[in-house]
Amino acid sequence: MKSEGVSEGSCTAVKRVCLRRSSENSTVEDRAAGGTSVQVSVIVPVYNGSDWLDQCLQAVVDQDYQGSMELSVYDDSSTWVLLRIRLYLRAVDSTCAFRMRLLVARYGVILKVLQSDTRGGSTHSVQSNSIHRLYLFQVFTSHGPTVVMPTWFCSRDWFLKVGPFDEGGKGVPEDLLWFYRSLRLGGSVLRVDECLLIYRYHQHAATHSVLEETIWTLRVNFLQERVLDQWDSFTIWNAGKQGRKLYRSLSLTNQKKVKAFCDVDEKKIKKGFYTYEDSKERPKPKIPVLRVKDASPPFIVCVKLDMTAGVLEESLASLKLKEGEDFYHFN
């Protein structure tokens, strides 16, 4: 969807960001007006965000970042919001040292997508000692996102390499699909261990249009592609609801690789096995349920961290397992 003021054919229409075409050999400095280089482009897509827009934009203004920055706000077919955005930016421009303009984000070396119903939780520049590499074996979360998109900072060159967001429309988790494409191309993730964002959960949020089962299926498929397809066999750590759901969601090939479930719940262990009742196979598959100490790696751990009073963490440590080789978290 094009932003108002961008002529047809002058941009590549993308849901989250619209990039004007520029000369293949031009640099950021060449493209910037007046030869001024812009380090960071903050991109804010807006759809009827009246309740939160002021706080969102003010959070950008309040940052202590001293480099050059542009703020690009996009109306996503709102009924009234563009006029208000223009008035707001006009008011802010007289007091703000930043280069605020309602136009296509085409200059920044670094791109930052900020949703209009969120706002920054930190106003100061991040120190290098709070930045840590997020290892690629830590990206297999089953429900919540690995890295919430409004906290992303991404180089412009990498965004162009990975390509635009999926334009499938309502119900498509385009941020998750883009994240997976980035990882497949060798992208890495750096995590800042600070509160960077205040995320609002409200009834009109776009996240409600994405079904939980859609997210689950995408995450299971990515886990299979990147991990399970390379293993000959494995154990699912959790004989409860989450572990059984993972088993049922696997391809038939990977189901056959599951040698056991393991658990600490004596009731599940005493039962001795899990029967996959919905299987079309005869006889129906029966998967052993073992105590953790009797199970063998590699494991897919389907237990939430920080939810077992340290029991899970202690068990993993006692077995001297190496994450990314002997086990992966899927929780």
Rounded Cα distance between 236 and 74, Å, is 45
Rounding to the nearest 10 degrees, give the CA dihedral for residues 307, 310, 315, 318. 150
**98 pLDDT higher than 50:** no
Q: Round the average pLDDT of the chain to a whole number and report it.
A: 75
Lowest-confidence pick of 38-42, 116-120, 180-184, 297-301: 116-120
Alpha helices by DSSP H, the chain: 28-31, 53-61, 81-93, 156-162, 174-184, 212-226, 241-249, 252-255, 266-271, 311-318
- pLDDT for residue 296: 95
CB 254 within 8 A of CB 181: no
- pLDDT for residue 270: 94
- pLDDT for residue 68: 83
Over the stretch 116-140, which tens digit does the pLDDT of each residue have? 777 665 555 555 555 666 677 778 8
With a pLDDT cut of 70, the percent of the chain lying above it is: 71
How far are the Cα atoms of 37, 98, 104, 187, 260 from residue 93, in angstroms, in the given order? 19, 8, 17, 36, 63
**14 pLDDT higher than 70:** no
SS3 (DSSP) at 96: coil
pLDDT tier for residue 268 given thresholds of 50, 70 and 90:
very high
Rounded Cα distance between 240 and 207, Å, is 27
Instruction: Name which residue leads in pLDDT, 257 or 137.
Output: 257
Dihedrals phi, psi of 216, to nearest 5 degrees: -60, -50
Rounding to the nearest 10 degrees, give the CA dihedral for residues 291, 295, 301, 305. 50
Q: Which two tokens stand for residue 169?
A: 């429309």
Residue with tokens 């807006």: 46
Question: Across residues 304-323, what is the average pLDDT?
Answer: 83
Alpha-carbon dihedral sign for residues 321, 325, 327, 331? positive
Instruction: Name which residue leads in pLDDT, 139 or 251.
Output: 251
Question: Across residues 291-305, what is the average pLDDT?
Answer: 92
- pLDDT for residue 133: 67
pLDDT tier for residue 311 given thresholds of 50, 70 and 90:
confident
Rounded Cα distance between 324 and 129, Å, is 24
Over the stretch 47-73, which tens digit does the pLDDT of each residue have? 777 778 788 888 888 888 888 887 777
Q: Which of 108-117, 150-159, 166-175, 247-256 has the highest mean pLDDT?
A: 247-256
Over the stretch 174-222, which tens digit does the pLDDT of each residue have? 888 988 999 999 988 887 777 777 777 777 776 777 888 988 999 999 9
With a pLDDT cut of 90, the percent of the chain lying above it is: 29
Question: Across residues 6-26, what is the average pLDDT?
Answer: 33
Give Cβ neighbours of residue 44 (< 8 Å, ≥ 6 apart).
56, 57, 60, 71, 72, 73, 74, 113, 114, 115, 116
How many helices (H) and strands (E) the chain has is answered by 10, 17
- pLDDT for residue 80: 60
- pLDDT for residue 143: 66
Over the stretch 18-34, which tens digit does the pLDDT of each residue have? 333 333 343 333 444 44
